[in-house]
Structure 1
């Protein structure tokens, strides 16, 4: 009888842990609507006079030639709590942080104009799969032109990254949906406990194309690995 009671108690304890873990993950994707408006006058005034610490586009230099790269689950999770960010993939290199995000309606004003905001449910199947791993959203809000992300939005993301990774020189953020699919492929490599450095050349091609007008088109990492 006592043994049975212990087994029941142990089972209940395990179930409680599982429920708690699920609840925290669900809460990550069920944020309440936030009144944060990155395009508001107040947001712009808050940024006025503050040193801009996120990365700018670098043309024909070595800022995006990285020597190492690793996925940061900690920062990716932290950014998903920011108003307007549905999910994030964050990679740290020897000098930069690269952030890919999909957006949601828990924030607003992340684009300089609504005409730059799009909702996607798919992308070119020859480039990347049309799902994002571990992301429960069927519709993705994106701003595919990086220059149209507002400075307060990029600064908010950069501030969180610098808080958790102060050694980073620059933070480069994109809400381009295809870029997010690419970055998700690199995240899968990390989740399988494989070194992303193995694919550093492909990673550099991707970020140079996204942030420095690189002329070489990135290809699906999944296709590259299967060759």
Structure 2
């Protein structure tokens, strides 16, 4: 899942990026309104965390511009202001939720999950392919009756495959969706994590649904019958 953090206060932005990354999100960040409008309309985000006080235009104007351009990504607004009028302004500008600083990261994370869950009409409450199931809101996954123990990145990778069943996903697509556009780590990280995921969702259950497509990438095969290999 991809999130855009729009925050000009360096320390707050860094804390949000680190916390969200630890939750398994792929995080991009910008410190101004113009950058926020461009990135949110140019790239496909699942949610935007938007501060009200920005150097070039306030968050209300950013939100209005996004909605005017037909960008309906869920927006969670952050502000140090606690006045009712400011919350009303944010919601009237097209924001989906509002959180006042200081806030607990646990609450922000819960609100983001709720926005993602209800934000886009095409998002089902439960993702399922055969007997493989994943609940984005509770961040739990199962193979049949067995609950899977997944790291945040493994969970994000499985969610990506379950949102695109039967489709070949390139390594670049996976890297940009599960990590971020500026990732500068191990070059074979996608292959490593696909291998980790196979050991948890396929191998213990005697199936081979997560396939390598030579020269192209990876695909989560849709079994003909639930639970078959």
TM-score between both structures, scaled by the size of structure 1: 0.25
The structure showing larger relative contact order (alpha-carbon pairs under 8 Å, at least 6 residues apart) is 1
